[in-house]
Amino acid sequence: RWFTHFYVVSVLWNGFLLIWLFRAEFLGGSLPSWIQHIHHALGQDSQSTDTGKYSSYYDAHFSAFLVLLLLWLHSCRRLAECLWTSVFSSGVIHIVQYCFGLAYYIAVGSTLLCQVPTNLRNGKELSVQICWYHIVGVMMYVWASLHQHRCLVILANLRKSKSGKVVSLSHSVPFGDWFERVSCPHYFAELLIYVSMAITLGFHSLTWWCVVMYVLFNQALAAVLCHEFYQKNFSSYPKHRKAFIPFVF
């Protein structure tokens, strides 16, 4: 239940960043001065603006805008699911994890904004250049998001009657969709969503791949703990299910 706060912060903060980037991308505006200071500290302002790199810089603007939009939409959907789909137990969260979660959703959007080159923002509107990896990334994002939503609905329905009324807060064994292959498909879908954003950025953002690695280890740990819980508490739990990645782990 406390994760709801993370998505509220993400929707507000990343929505704010999305507006700034939209102005820079399509209206010829500029990013906030604090972003420019971060770019200067990271040495991004010293990047070359020769003709060979010119188009790639324009592409970096649009790629970052597109991924920030996907991140914001992801946060909106997860917030809606927390408010109207999921049925939470009375579990609590450690204060350190809570503070880290809030900081994470602020940092991840800011990280995206810092991937945008600063030396092409001369008051000109930027052109939109859709590349093949934008299409592949968005398609993968939609596919993973749909499956994540379906799996969260399945989990919620385990605690509801056919009429939709909450009748229990206990744990049950889920079936259907990706649950037939893994114990925590919603965690696996989360990883795929972040991978899809890395693809949308054109594969070459080392910083974002670091974010993907963080999501991988974070979600894998949570999946293993849930998998062990299922195996310990349900003697008839399907033995063919993996914890996190189908057929692999």
Q: Are residues 207 and 137 in the same domain?
A: yes
* Identity at 219, one-letter amino acid code: Q
- Region 196-221 average pLDDT: 94
Q: What is the helix, strand, coil percentage profile of the chain, to 5?
A: 65, 0, 35
Angle at 42 between CA 209 and CA 208, to 5 degrees: 10
Q: What is d(CA 45, CA 247) in angstroms, rounded to the nearest whole number? A: 45
- Weakest mean pLDDT among 20-34, 74-88, 110-124: 110-124
Q: Pick from 143, 147, 171: which is nearest to 159 by CA?
A: 171
Q: What is d(CA 115, CA 96) in angstroms, rounded to the nearest whole number? A: 28
Q: Are residues 174 and 122 in the same domain?
A: no
Q: Are residues 100 and 176 in the same domain?
A: no
Residue 82 has pLDDT above 50, yes or no: yes
Q: Are residues 124 and 7 in the same domain?
A: yes
- Structurally, how many domains does the chain consist of? 2
Q: Greater confidence, 112 or 37? A: 112
At 152, which helix (H) or strand (E)? helix 132-157
pTM confidence score = 0.90
> 66, 95, 128 — which closes off a domain?
128
Q: Which domain holds residue 150?
A: 130-248
- Region 9-21 average pLDDT: 93
Q: Are residues 163 and 92 in the same domain?
A: no
Residue 98: its pLDDT value, please?
95
Per-residue DSSP letter, 44: G
Residue 239: its pLDDT value, please?
94
Q: Are residues 113 and 145 in the same domain?
A: no
User: How many of the other CB atoms lie within 10 Å of CB of 182?
Assistant: 23
Q: Are residues 117 and 10 in the same domain?
A: yes
Q: Greater confidence, 62 or 43? A: 62
Q: What is d(CA 100, CA 175) in angstroms, rounded to the nearest whole number? A: 32
Which structure tokens are listed for 115? Answer: 């991937």
Give the residues across from 242 on adjacent strands. 182
Residue 42: its pLDDT value, please?
58
Q: Are residues 176 and 80 in the same domain?
A: no
